[in-house]
C-alpha cells in the first residue's frame, strides 16, 4: 500500500469552530480537488467533508502532505500553522485502515453512524467525476463498500437508533406521517442542529431554518428548497410549523406556553438544548407533545450498548478485507513482470515458428494452437509462485530471479 496517504481533522482533534472553517460543500470540494490536480499533479484523491470531519486521501509516490495542507489553508484563508496542530497524518496501510474505519462508522461521533457511508460514497462519486479515481482507489472503495455490507449483515454495529438527533427524526417521521404537506422548523444551527438537518433529508416536508446568524442559515439552505428566518421571527415559525425542533444555545427558555394562542393545536416540540430552551409549561397546552434531551437519550442507551458490543466483530471484518486488498495490491505490483514474461516467451515461440517456412498453412495453424497451449502451461507455475510469494511478502526476490533468467528488464528497454 506504498504511496497511499491521508491527512485531516475530526471532532476528536478539533473543536466545532475550527471544523467549520475547513468544511467543504460540493462546489468548494470540486474546485479544491481540481486545483490540487492541476498544481500538485495528483492522479487519485478523495475528499471526505462533513460537520464532524474533513479528511483528504491521495495516492502518490512522494509525501506532499505539507503542500496539500498549504492548499487547504490558502483555499480557506487560514494559516497552515493554525491548522497543523489539529491535523492527523496517516500513510500506507494505516491510511487505508483509517478510511475503512471512517466509512464503517467506527470513527463516528455516533458509533455505527449509517450516514457516513453515504457521505463517503458521494465523495467517491465526485472523485470519479473529476477523473481522480484510478485503479487503486476504485479497488479500495469497492472493498470498503463490501466490508460495510458485511458489517450490516454480520454484526449489530448499525442496529437501533444511537443518537439523540436521529431519535428526534424518528419521532418526527411518526408524527408527520398523517399530515398533508407537513412543515418543520429547526431553531439553532450549531453542531446538533446541523446533525438534525442532515437527518431530515429523508423526510418529505417543508423546512424552515431559524438562527441568530441569518447568513449561516442561508449558507446551509443554499441550493435547497428551505425557508430562512431570523431568531427575531421565532413566533412566526412557531405559528406556521407543525414540528419545532430547538437546538439553540440559551441560558433560559425562549419558547413557552405564552408563545401559542388559544385554539386546537397539533404540534410536536422537541427540545435538544442544554440548558433547555422550551419551558415545562408547554406540557399543559392541549395538542402539544413535548420531548426533551433526557427523554430522547433513554431511547438511545440500549442501541449504544449493542453497537459497542459489535466493535470487535466489525474490526475483524476490517482486518480480513484489508488483508484481501493488500494481496491484490501486491499482485498488481508483479503484474508488469508477468506481462513481460508472457511477452518474452511468446516472442521466442514466434521466432521458432518463423524458422519453419516450408510448413503448410494447415500445419502452421496446428503448431500455433499447440505452441500457445505449451506457453500457457509453462507460465502457469511461475505466475502461481509469484502470487504465493506476494502473500508471503517475498515477491521481490522471485521477480529478480525471473528478470535475470529471461532478461526481462532489457527486453522492456528495447521495446521503449
User: Which residues are identified as catalytic?
Assistant: 51
For residues 144 and 303, is the Cβ–Cβ distance under 8 A?
A: no
Q: Can you state the angle between helices 361-392 and 395-406, rounded to 10 degrees?
A: 150
Query: Which residues face 90 on adjacent strands?
Result: 6
Per-residue cell: 129: 467525476
Distance CA 39, CA 41 (A): 6
Pairing between β-strand 226-230 and β-strand 53-59 as defined by DSSP bridges: unpaired
Distance CA 280, CA 264 (A): 19
Distance CA 52, CA 176 (A): 29
Nearest of 339, 321, 313 to residue 403 by alpha carbon: 339
Residue with cell 490558502: 74
Distance CA 37, CA 364 (A): 52
Distance CA 59, CA 5 (A): 6
54 half-sphere exposure, CB direction, 13 A CA radius: 24
Amino acid at each position: 500500500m506504498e504511496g497511499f496517504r491521508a491527512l485531516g481533522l475530526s471532532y476528536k482533534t478539533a473543536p466545532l469552530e475550527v471544523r467549520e472553517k475547513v468544511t467543504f460543500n460540493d462546489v468548494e470540494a470540486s474546485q479544491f480537488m481540481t486545483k490540487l490536480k492541476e498544481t500538485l499533479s495528483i492522479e487519485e484523491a478523495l475528499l471526505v467533508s462533513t460537520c464532524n470531519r474533513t479528511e483528504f486521501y491521495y495516492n502518490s509516490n512522494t509525501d506532499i502532505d505539507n503542500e496539500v495542507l498549504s492548499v487547504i489553508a490558502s483555499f480557506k484563508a487560514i494559516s497552515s500553522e493554525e491548522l497543523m496542530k489539529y491535523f492527523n497524518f496517516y500513510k500506507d496501510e494505516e491510511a487505508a485502515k483509517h478510511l475503512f474505519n471512517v466509512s464503517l462508522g467506527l470513527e463516528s461521533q455516533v458509533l455505527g453512524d449509517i450516514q457516513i457511508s453515504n457521505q463517503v460514497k458521494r465523495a467517491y462519486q465526485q472523485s470519479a467525476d473529476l477523473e481522480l479515481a484510478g485503479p487503486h482507489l476504485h479497488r479500495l472503495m469497492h472493498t470498503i463498500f463490501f466490508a460495510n455490507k458485511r458489517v450490516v449483515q454480520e454484526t449489530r454495529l448499525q442496529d437501533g437508533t444511537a443518537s439523540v438527533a436521529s431519535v428526534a427524526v424518528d419521532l418526527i417521521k411518526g408524527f408527520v406521517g398523517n399530515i398533508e404537506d407537513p412543515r418543520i422548523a429547526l431553531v439553532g444551527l450549531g453542531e446538533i442542529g446541523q446533525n438534525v438537518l442532515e437527518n431530515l433529508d429523508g423526510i418529505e416536508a417543508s423546512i424552515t431554518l431559524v438562527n441568530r446568524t441569518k447568513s449561516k442559515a442561508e449558507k446551509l439552505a443554499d441550493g435547497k428548497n428551505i425557508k430562512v428566518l431570523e431568531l427575531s421571527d421565532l413566533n412566526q415559525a412557531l405559528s406556521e410549523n407543525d414540528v419545532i425542533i430547538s437546538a439553540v444555545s440559551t441560558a433560559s427558555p425562549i419558547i413557552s406556553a405564552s408563545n401559542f394562542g388559544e385554539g386546537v393545536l397539533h404540534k410536536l416540540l422537541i427540545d435538544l438544548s442544554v440548558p433547555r430552551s422550551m419551558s415545562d409549561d408547554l406540557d399543559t397546552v392541549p395538542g402539544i407533545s413535548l420531548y426533551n434531551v433526557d427523554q430522547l437519550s433513554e431511547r438511545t442507551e440500549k442501541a449504544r450498548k449493542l453497537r459497542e458490543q459489535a466493535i470487535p466483530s466489525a474490526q475483524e471484518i476490517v482486518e480480513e478485507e484489508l488483508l484481501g486488498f493488500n494481496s491484490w495490491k501486491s499482485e498488481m505490483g508483479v503484474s508488469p513482470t508477468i506481462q513481460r514474461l508472457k511477452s518474452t516467451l511468446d516472442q521466442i515461440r514466434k521466432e521458432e515458428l518463423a524458422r519453419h517456412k516450408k510448413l503448410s498453412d494447415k500445419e502452421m495453424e496446428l503448431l500455433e494452437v499447440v505452441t500457445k497451449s505449451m506457453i500457457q502451461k509453462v507460465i502457469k507455475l511461475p505466475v502461481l509462485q509469484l502470487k504465493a510469494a506476494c502473500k508471503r511478502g517475498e515477491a521481490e526476490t522471485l521477480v529478480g530471479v525471473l528478470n535475470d533468467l529471461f532478461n526481462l528488464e532489457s527486453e522492456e528497454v528495447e521495446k521503449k
